[in-house]
Each structure stands twice: as structure tokens, then as C-alpha cells.
A and B are shown apart, each in its own frame.
Chain A
Amino acid sequence: MSINLLQRHVLEDHISGFETDPNPNHLAVVRRPVIFSVLAHAGHEAAVAEALKAASDLAPRFCGPSEWLAVSQTVGAETIGGLLSNIPGASFADQSDGKVLMTISGPSVRKILAKCVAVDLHSDVFAEGDSANMLCCHVAANVARTGADTFEIIVPRSFAGSVFDELMEMGREHALTRGFSD
């Protein structure tokens, strides 16, 4: 007997009903990103960081000393897993199902995020390519700046509905729209 198992996104129920065109301020949920936790063992910290930076098809997100999230929206989990297993001194765990990736963008994005995180997101302080773990809407999140007015937020799956609702609430005065990115 073979069982056909379907994957279901946790925000499926939050993003239902009539879809409209995205406004300038928009929250896009990435349906199936690949996200791995990467840990560098003692003595390999710099080498692992370098290897992650140099790797194609993945973006490293800084979580804390010797810990990153490796994010890819272009290739599959097996490719990323293979790539990571070739980095000496690195351990890794697939978290693609445990994390939810959202992209928030638009001219008011910093005003919206100022209601969600306590960290200064001014480009002099948090430049394009920077990422860090921080509380976002009371939940431990990883936030990355991927463009002048674009940020990616990664939150634990169990909290995703809550953070999503909160982001939409904070974006209300800026006419924030939402949808899956594909």
C-alpha cells in the first residue's frame, strides 16, 4: 500500500479568500523554502562562515555565534544537505518544515517593522545583507535585510499564524496586502 501524502503550509488558512493585486506594501509568504540550521564546531567557526558565504544557491542568515540558517529558494533540500555535508566542521539539521519564511517590502516597511521589532533597522545600522535573531511580535525570529525596502522574516512554524496576523495588524494603516509568493 502506498500512501499519497500532501504537504500543507501552516498559513494556508490565514491566506484564503479573495486575492487582490499586491499594494506597494506587501507581505509575501514563501511556500516551500529550504531552510537548514548550520552549526560550526569549535575551531571551524571562521571556515564554516566562509564556506557558507561562498556557497551558491544559499543565503546564510546569522543566528548567533557559530550558528546560521542556510536559506534557499532556488534548489531543493537534498542539494543543500549535500552541499552542507561537504563543509568540514559543520553540523546541520533540515528545518524547512519548522520555519516559515515571509518577505515584507514596500515604502513603509520600516514603519511597520518598528512596531514589531526593537532593533534599529536603519540602513546605516542594519544594511542590505545583514541578518540577526531578534524578537518579532514577541516571537524569536531571524530578520534579514535583502533590499533597501525589503526584509525577510523567518519564524518558527508553530508561531507563524500569530506573527502573520500581528504583521498584518501593524501594517493596517499602511494598506499592507498579503499572499503566497507563488
Chain B
Amino acid sequence: MTSYRLAAGGAVNRGQLLNFTFDGRTFRGFEGDTLASALLANDQMLMARSFKYHRPRGVVTAGSAEPSALLTVGNGARREPNARATVVELYNGLVAASQNRWPSLKHDFGTINNLLSPFLGAGFYYKTFMWPAPFWERLYEPLIRRAAGLGKVAMQADPDRYEKSWAHCDLLVIGAGPAGLMAALAAGRAGARVILADEGFRLGGSLLGESASVGGMPAADFAGTVIEELAALPNVTLMPRTTVFGWYDDMVFGAVERVQKHVASPSPDLAVERLWRIVAKRAILASGAEERPLVFGGNDKPGVMTAAAARTYLNRYGVAVGSRVAVFTNGGSGYRTAADLVARGVDVTAIIDARPQSADPMPEGVRVVRNGSVVATKGRHRIDGLIAERSGFEEVIACDALAMSGGWSPVVHLMCQRGAKPVWSDEKQAFLAPDIGKAFLAAGSAAGFDRISDCLKDGANKASALLRDLGFAAYEADIPDVEGEYDPSFAPLWYVPGAKDKAFVDFQNDVHVGDLGLAQREGFRHIEHTKRYTTAGMATDQGKLGNVNAAGIVAGMRGVSPAEIGTTTFRPFYTPVSFGALAGTVRAEHAAPVRTSPLHNWARKNGAAFVESGLWYRSAWFSREGEKSWRESVDREVLNVRANVGLCDVSTLGKIEIFGRGAAELLDRVYSNSFLKLPVGKARYGLMLREDGIVFDDGTTSRLSENHYVMTTTTAYAAEVLAHLEFSAQTFWPELDVRFVSSTDQWAQMSLAGPKSRTVMSRIVQDDISDDAFPFLAAREVVLRGGLQARLFRISFSGELAYELAVPAGYGEAVADAIMEAGRDEGICAYGVEALNVLRLEKGHVTHSELEGRTTADDVGLGRMMAMQKPDFIGKRLSMRFGLTAADRLQLVGLKAVEADKEIKAGAHLLKDQAKPSLANDQGFVSSACFSPSLGHHIALAMLKSGRERFGERILVWDGLRGSEVMAEVCSPVFVDPDNLKLHL
């Protein structure tokens, strides 16, 4: 036995036994254990294989910076790879497995990489696997990926729920150690809204693992009393198991709460993880400090860990990490660990102190080797001894664990995520948090304070300062006394010379000192280049333990201060966050809001197939029995509209109510055509340009009364047009009295089109709608038979005699049903947007397929819509630019296939007859295409160079993407009823 559970002590609940398995073996732990502490308690020191060399690894830390003890937790669809054993909360039934090994953790074939390591230095694959080029993707990369790596992700769908939530507070305190607790207490007592978040499952931070006493009681008990008081305050929210991972604009913090990651079967009513966006007026970073590993030969052997980790396992979990523990230190932390171990009856074989002398109190009976160092560790799967060196003499010291301390690095990650770099302090020999203003302060050891008493004081002081800033009455916190503190100061030691084995800097990516040297020699000298070349700091731990050592070592190699080397860039996330948490509820049917028309039910009853159009679900076509393809349905619908009558849902078009005495003038300025004299009771087609003269949107606007208009927009640009109107009215012409509001959702709007539409509509509408009383482009409020108020417009997109009827949305389904009933004898059919598209193509009407952000009014044949006699309208000036009036611009034309059965596809390019298929010979492209059932062949609208001069020319329609070439004749874009006789029936 080496590592073992002590008979008593620790903050675990020894009355609550938990069973779990690791690589198939059953173990027991206690409630309050982490997976790592429970494995250590069972003497399972070997936990993992390293990423590249497959070296045996155990724990290095007792917290979230853990680089080595990465395990796969859970099974089936809940299998989660790369979980850090040091932060996985133990639960009954937990299943854990080691990863990156074959056939087993103890006998791993991949260790061959360790033997080959002289050839596998940093960047080896950039140099080695260069030839032949195609082998990289097909052979080399798959092989390297197999040999090196982490755990494997579960391929099944994630069965669990995730969600996101917002929180708001005056003060966010990140970290519930001594500084964080006092900060939260000061703010909580002052009445501020406080959120205290900590990544641990038990609040208290380092106090849970320290042997000092605070306020006359054990540090962990003190933490307990503070948390009890905080929990009772209604203005304080405690968030354990919550990692604040990012700091974003406007003091928004990202955090992830592990709601049910510590249970075997999560409740289906609860999220397993919850992503928080915390909006804080002020924040305190009390994330503590990380103990640095020492960089010496064989420093990665299972059993070698930081002194603070050994202390935490001892004091918090009641686990001795070895029965004969050696300590290698350059400061007080090593001595404190030795003292704590001795006090709990654990044998400490030696303290090897890198310094020539120190004032740290020596535990009684423990040998101290001053000015010493460790140059190698012994043992195969775990440490069983070390080689110490002093003044040129080597000595083997037997041990079954080695606690190392290389000094402390404040955890300043969050404060550096928005560009500010940490600042080197010669005094502290550490990178400290940068000054980033008065809203977000570091406190406690995150701010460079190293004693508990100073951290307690600093937390309270910083909170009080921030609260005064927010206008809260100053609150003087009573700072408890601390007894049994130690001096954690240290002398810098970046690299221990004389290593007889690899000295690792980045444990997770297997980067050792030799790799850093190679990077310098090969010119990758900037620390960011060194990082990318060696991959130091690029693993999932983002170099939490290794980066500062890497900077120090590179500084030593170059003979400069670490201040000159600096750090690499800090970015979210502080620790890995699952994709599930980032997605939240936004998956499957909740992926995006669904927008349904008031006629959705009517369409469904009539057999509609729906198509997503933005967020809208529009009825695409209406299948009838016996129809085998969508085309059959669409062809039938089109022919029926041309011959009889059809009903189409056009509710998704944008509708904007426009009020005010200045409305006519505003419309005249935002549309390119004239609107000033539109009479009451009339609709008019309008074209809007952008400032740059390009077409923006089109639609109809109707004047319902003197100062009340209703505008329709395309479905896609409904919101943009409203914003454009508001912007124009508010900024260009504030003197115009005009107001707007969207009424898109208020109205169910249906188009009734076809030669028999008047017959059918007159059975629904009470008013006289004869051609005399209600001519083309009439627009009025009408009353339906039965009394319902509605709006009727005589406008047509299909080219047929047509009406658009708008009724309050709640009545949409009933009115559509009534129209279908009223038109039964006329052979009415429902038709969808596919048929609508064919109808408008046959009629040569344009949509956003043609008005696609590059075309002018003239390009699409709407030059007559430019009322140049108007003093001004949006887009007028720039529409006269040379480039927009050039004769060889692409112009809208029609195309018909020369051979009737040949299909023209949208997106295909146009070439002169006999021209070589190449974009160099490009003459234009097909913007929309369809089969025209009215004509019996394929037709298309296309943009063709000087197209209007080329009617009758035969051109080649070349679809290079789908590999087809079709001959077509250029023609007028209006295929049906060019003289508009049908509109005026």
C-alpha cells in the first residue's frame, strides 16, 4: 500500500459509501470525494497515459488545472471523454475508464512512442511527413491521430437536456475561497445583489484543504459558517458547481453550472448543465493561485504532484498520497505540506530544498537537503524513488510520492480575455492581473496576496470599494484572526539542471524542456511561435500549469526577464465547456422559432407540403390523390388558376401601417416611382432603391384613407423595409409627420386568382366588386357576408384577374374554408408558392431572385419605375452613375428551351452559341427557371449582357456544376398575356 485513506479526518462523509468502477474494477469512495481522491484512497496511482509518448500518468493537482488524470466517465450515450478526475464529483454507480491506451492501461502498446521519442520531438511531423503530399490526408494524419490522442466521444445523440439562463447582479464574486467569501459577505451584508460562483461542488476553495484555523475554528468550518450566513441572505445567490469561463463585453460573464453531472441517472425534467450569462455591474476575481510544478527529470511519474495537491488530498479528503512522501520545493509550501503530513502520521522521507537556506520551520525529525535538486525519478508505473543531487553528489532516496512546489501563479485568466496582458512582477516572481479599470478587480491570491489573512482582508476591502462606487453605504467587515499560517514565498526556479529523463513543461501535450530549446534554435522565438511550434499550452488545459514555466524557461534560455517574454493570449473558455451547454435548448424542433401563417391549418387540411422560407413555413404545393410528384401538383395548380380559379396564402408578405399627414410625401421619397397623387381607395406597385441606386425591395402600397396607407413588402424584407422607413423618417426627414407600425401578423391574406375569381369573391364579399365598382388596383375596406370587416385589393402577381383579401388572422382559416366552399362549382383549387412562382415566371414578374442586390430598376426591365422628374428619391443620385447606366449591363430576358423537353436550371451560365464553356466567356446567368405548364416547355428568367437587344438569339445555357448544356432562345421575359388583357377583365 502506498496511497491510502486515513482513519479519520477530511471533509468527506464517511457514513455514505459510494461504489464506482475504474477500468472494470470496483472501488469504494465516500460522499464528498472526487474521482481522483477516491482512486488515490484505493491506491490507484496510475490513471492515464499521456497524449504523445503514452507515458504513465497520475494526478498532478487536486483541481481544475489538472493536465494528466483525464478519464472517460459514464457509458453509452452519456460517455464523456477527457473528464479531469480531480474535479469529477464521485457518485454511486460512476463508471470511469482510462483512455489513449491499448490493450490496457498498464500494458500499453503505444509506449513504443516513448522509445521512439528522440525522433518525435516538437514539429517532427511538419518535417517528416511531407512527401508524397496526398499521403498526409490519407495515411499520415489518420495514423498520427490514432497513435496520439485523448478519449473518444460518444457517437449516439446526447440524451440529456441543456439550457441557458440569464442572471443579473450588483457584484459577481468568482471563487469562494478566503477572498471570495469575504467579498461576498461584505457585499451581502451591505444589501447588494450578489452572486458567488465557484467551480467546486463544495464552496470554500483553498480553505477546505488548509490546516490553519480561521476565526478560532478549522478553516473549513469557518468557510461553512460564512456560507451559512450568505445562504440566509435573500440578496445573495450561491452558485456551486459553476465555472465562470468567460468575460465578455458590457460586463457579461459566461458560466456553466453542472446541475446534474454528479448523479447516475439525471432527472429528465432538469437540465444536466446550464449555461449562465451573468450581467454584473461589478465583479471580483477571487480565483486564487495555482502552484507551479517544478521542471525536473521524470517530473511526470505517477505519484509526483504539487505540494498543494498533496495537502488538499490529506486535509480535505483524508487521503495520504503516499506512505513515504518526499518533498521537492523552492518555498514555504513544501514545508507546510511536510508538516501537515507528519502531523497526520505520514512518513516524510526528505525535503529537498532548492534554496541554500530558508527560514521555513522544519517538521521535527524530517531530513532537509538544502541547495539540492531532483534529477530523476525511479519506478515504472509509479514513483518508487528519486535521485537527488547536491553539490555534484547524487543520492537515491526511496519514496512512493513526491510533492513538488515551484511557487505560485495567480489565476488571472478571466481578466486577460479581452486583450489586456498580465504584468510581470519581479517582487512576486509571477504574472499579475493587469489593470483593466474599476469594474472588475482581482482579490486575494489572484491579486498576488499569499497569506490567508491578507486574502480575507483584501476580499472584504475590494468588495467595499466596488460597492461604494455603486452607491452602497460603506461596510466595515470584521476580519477574523488566522492562526497557524505559513509563509508561502519562494525563490524562482524555472528549470532544474542535470535532468536524466525528460523534464516536462506541458504535461498534457508532452512538451518537455528540449522541445522549447529546439523551438528557440529553429527561430520560433516569440512565445506565441514557441507555443505553436511545440504545442506547449495548446492542450485542453490551455497551459494552466505549464505556460508560466515555459515563459520562465524561454527567458532563461534567452537571458532575459520573463517580463520580456510575456505570456500567450488568454481566450475563453477558462476550462472546457460541453457543446451541449453551448447549444442549450436550441436543438431539434427548438433549433429556431417556427413562424406559421394564420392559414397554416387551412393549408394542412388541404394537403399542403410546407417549405421553410426564413422562419416561416409556407405552403409549397397541395398534393391530390394520384399525383406522384410535386411537379404534377404544381402543373395542375397553375393550369387551374389560368383556366378557373385558385386560392393562395400570401399572409407572409410584410404589411406596414403608415399614418400621418406626411405619409404621401415620405412614400414619394422612398419609392422610385410617384406616390404623391395616389387616390384614396387605390393600390400602386412601388419599387424601392437603396442609396446606391440598386433595387432594395418592391411591393404595393394602398391608400385606405387620407392619412392612412398600408404597405406590403416581400416576405424576406418585411423587417428591413420597416427599419428603412423608420430610419428615413427619423434621420432624413424628421419634419414629416409620419408613423409606422407592422401589421403583418394581424391579417390573414389570401390571393384569389383566375378568370373565375370575381364570381367566387362576390359570394364572400357583400360590397359590389364588379369591374366598374372595383377596377384593377382598387383597394378598400369591405364587409364580408356575415359582417366581418376586411380589406380587399385588386392586385395580381399571377397575371390573372385576381384579388387579395385580408381578414383578421383569427378568422383566416374560416374565411379560406368559406372561399373554397364558394368556389367549388368553379373548380377552385388551393395553390402554393411553387405554383405562385411558376405563374409569376410565366408573367415575367421579378422577385428577390432577380432583385438580388446587384440589379438596377433598368436591369430588370423596370426603368419606367424611375420617376426622374421627382426632385429626389432614395437612390436617385447614385442610380445615374456611369457604371449603373452602361449599355453592356446584364439585363432581364426570358429564355425558352429550343428542344421542348430540355430543362433549364437556375444558376446556370449563359454563353454565346459555339463558345467554349468557360467563365471567361460568361454572358450572364439564369436567375429563375421552371417548367411552364401553360406553354408546355421549360422557361427561365435570366440576366444577359445587353439582353434586351438580343431577343431571338440562340445561346448556350451551361451548367458546369451539374454538367448540362442546353440551347435556348432569348425572348421577352413576359411569356403570358403580354398586353395585360386578363388583368382588366
A interface, CB within 8 angstroms of B: 1-10, 13, 37, 39-42, 66-67, 91, 93-99, 111, 114-115, 117-120, 122, 125, 137-139, 156-159, 161-163, 165-166, 169-170, 172-173
Contact = CB atoms under 8 A, between A and B. Distances in A.
Contacts of B615: 159
A98 B744 CA distance: 8
A8 B593 CA distance: 21
Interface of B: 163-168, 193, 269-271, 277, 279, 585, 589-590, 592-598, 601, 615-616, 657, 659-660, 708, 734, 737, 739-741, 743-747, 763-764, 784-786, 788, 808-811, 813-815, 818
Nearest 3 CB-CB pairings of A with B: A98-B746, A91-B659, A98-B745
A13 B810 CA distance: 13
Given A98-B745, A98-B747, A9 B596 contact: no
B784 A166 contact: no
Contacts of A166: 585, 590, 593
B818 A3 contact: yes
Contacts of A91: 659-660, 708, 739
Contacts of B763: 1
In this complex, the member of B734, B739, B763 whose beta carbon has the largest number of chain A beta carbons within 10 angstroms is B739
A7 B810 CA distance: 5
A97 B612 CA distance: 23
Nearest to B815: A5
In this complex, the member of A9, A96, A158 whose beta carbon has the largest number of chain B beta carbons within 10 angstroms is A158
A169 B786 contact: no
A139 B743 contact: no
Nearest to B193: A122
Contact of A5 (B167, B269, B616, B811): B811
B165 A114 contact: yes
Given A66-B739, A159-B593, A97 B811 contact: yes
B813 A162 contact: no
B786 A3 contact: yes
Given A41-B660, A158-B616, A8 B810 contact: yes
A44 B778 CA distance: 33
B594 A170 contact: no
Contacts of B616: 158
5 contacts: A3-B784, A10-B810, A37-B743, A97-B811, A165-B590
B182 to A, nearest CB: 25
A41 B658 CA distance: 12
Contacts, number: 140
A39 B809 contact: no
A99 B745 contact: yes
Contact of A2 (B660, B786, B811): B786
A93 B657 contact: yes
A162 B739 contact: no
Contact of A3 (B165, B270, B597, B785): B785
A52 to B, nearest CB: 15
Given A5-B786, A5-B818, A9-B810, A115 B165 contact: yes
Nearest to A1: B785
B270 A173 contact: yes
A117 B166 contact: yes
Nearest to A95: B746
Contacts of B739: 39-41, 66-67, 91
A78 B59 CA distance: 75
In this complex, the member of B745, B747, B784 whose beta carbon has the largest number of chain A beta carbons within 10 angstroms is B745
Contact of B166 (A6, A93, A118): A118
Nearest to B594: A162
A8 B596 contact: no
Contacts of B269: 172-173
Contacts of A2: 785-786
A132 to B, nearest CB: 14
Contacts of A5: 784, 786, 788, 811, 814-815, 818
A49 B445 CA distance: 54
A161 B808 CA distance: 18
B818 A158 contact: no
A163 B595 CA distance: 10
Nearest to B168: A120
Contacts of A118: 166, 277, 279
A41 to B, nearest CB: 6
Contacts of A99: 745
A38 to B, nearest CB: 9
Contacts of B596: 10, 158, 161
B651 to A, nearest CB: 8
B703 to A, nearest CB: 15
Contacts of B764: 3
B598 A10 contact: yes
Given A118-B277, A138-B593, 12 more contacts: A2-B786, A3-B764, A6-B814, A67-B741, A93-B743, A97-B809, A98-B743, A98-B747, A99-B745, A137-B593, A156-B745, A169-B585
A137 B163 CA distance: 12
